[in-house]
A and B are shown apart, each in its own frame.
Chain A
Amino acid sequence: MAVATDLQKVVEDAAAHLYVWALKDIPQDLRDALAEAAETETSVPGQRVLQTILRNVQVAEDEKNLVCQDTGIAVYYCRVGEHFPLHPARIYEALYDGTERATVEHPLRSNTVHTLTRENTGQNVGYRVPIVHWDFVQGWDGLDVKCVPKGSGSENMSFLKMCTPADGVAGIKRFVLDSIVGAGGKPCPPGIVGVGIGGSADYAMHLAKEAIARPVGTRNPDPLVAELEDELKDLLNETGIGPMGLGGDVTVLQCHIEHADTHMTLNPVAVNYQCWAARRASAHVSADGVVDYDREA
């Protein structure tokens, strides 16, 4: 038990570090995408927004402050090797404790409330919060943890439609376009549009959330899906919504799609938006408790 307890502490420390790190230091792939957007944008308000964003990222670094005040709802993505010596029940406890500790120690604004009473439930933790996505890997003894503090401005711009099979791929594209135009400036564009297709209603949204957590501009390994990612990105940037919805050429930095096979009568499509401050930070934890922090995963 001593080993397991120590490993739990290691994962807790990693979670506490990842949460704050993600909030302060955005990954290089995102910085590059924002810089590229600033080179592309031709509208005056759009250019003003993008230059302010780039300045803000630098100020956050210089002042060691948070990029955005919304410390989000803590979402973790765990890939657990089948031989990793700490059970997921204890991994969850470690993520919970790490989130709580980081919130108290920094201090971070606490956002978590009871859904009905709206009373604050603690230090960014509560019933079923943090939220964890699990993936299990055969023949491996490690653990990957990715922390994505998800802001509410973009999370409020989440949409699901049960298209019919007859709506086809065109129906999927149309729903994504309508969703992003309807969202306008509210989700802090230009960001990453996560799209989940297939599976079931709940799983499509789960996949959309997986999609926003990928490194910016990565492509789905399925070439058909990758082609749709490219096409949708270009279509979305033709809508003219622009940075912060003030009009312009750059409405999205990227479109990422995750898919699952589905029932012959289903064609679910889910959209989960990630704002320009697409914060994420990762760590690899070995079976003997060595933590390797990874800025780009």
Chain B
Amino acid sequence: MAQHRVTFPASEDAIRELRAGDEVLVDGHIIGIRDRTQVRIFDQGVAPPMDLNGAFLLHTAPGVRKVADGKYEKVCIGTTTSARMVRFTEPLGRDYGVRAICGKGGLPDEAIEPMKRLGMVYFAIVGGAAALETTQIEEIEEVYWEELMPECLWKFRVKDFGPLTVAIDSHGTSLYHDVQEQAKKRLEDLYARL
């Protein structure tokens, strides 16, 4: 289980180097996105007003404070459950060149094949660890679709963001899949003892 530091936006080559179980620290720019943001992009057909090529998407609805000049200041930024948004995985990679999706709790198995084919990765963050995550976000640089507050499209500049775990890699391995398979086997033994 190797350790990596990756700057986003990132290339396909950089993503293909990552293997399930590896630890990653992220620098550069990451994009905050959530249910309503993706419903707008894919179900309502509104193109996002920023370039998502090579992007790192974070499943979040940040707690923020509005300050002067239309800017926002961070209050508490954490991560939400990803599984609800799995159906957007393939179009994000295919149509917009997204390279990484980061959230908590994992993506169901239907994400494995498109991530392998398109060269994408799912990073597991520690859900609930928002106090720490907030310190790793240096600045909220851009905000679009404020009417969806807090489910807007956010651009954050980050430093030492993580540690993240590569939970689904671009080679067809998903830790969630493996853990579930193992748990199902263990359950058979446990049932026998009830």
Contact = CB atoms under 8 A, between A and B. Distances in A.
A68 B128 contact: yes
Interface string A166-192: 000110011001100100111110000
Contacts of B75: 65, 107, 109
Interface stretch (B5-13, B88-96, B111-119, B179-187): B179-187
B183 A239 contact: yes
B1 to A, nearest CB: 5
B126 A53 contact: yes
Interface stretch (B47-55, B58-66, B138-146): B58-66
B45 to A, nearest CB: 20
A236 to B, nearest CB: 9
Given A45-B21, A45-B175, A170-B194, A244 B127 contact: yes
B128 A56 contact: yes
A151 B167 CA distance: 23
A153 B127 contact: yes
A199 interface: no
B75 to A, nearest CB: 7
Interface of A: 44-45, 48-49, 52-53, 55-57, 59-60, 63, 65-71, 107-109, 151-153, 156, 169-170, 173-174, 177-178, 181, 184-188, 235, 238-242, 244-247, 275-277
Given A63-B131, A245-B179, 9 more contacts: A52-B163, A59-B131, A68-B127, A69-B62, A169-B194, A184-B179, A238-B186, A240-B186, A244-B165
Interface of B: 1, 21, 23, 60-63, 65, 75-81, 83, 104-106, 124, 126-135, 150, 163, 165, 167, 175-176, 178-180, 182-184, 186-187, 190-191, 193-194
18 contacts: A44-B1, A45-B21, A56-B126, A56-B133, A60-B131, A67-B131, A68-B78, A68-B129, A69-B63, A107-B65, A108-B63, A181-B184, A186-B105, A239-B183, A240-B182, A244-B105, A245-B179, A247-B178
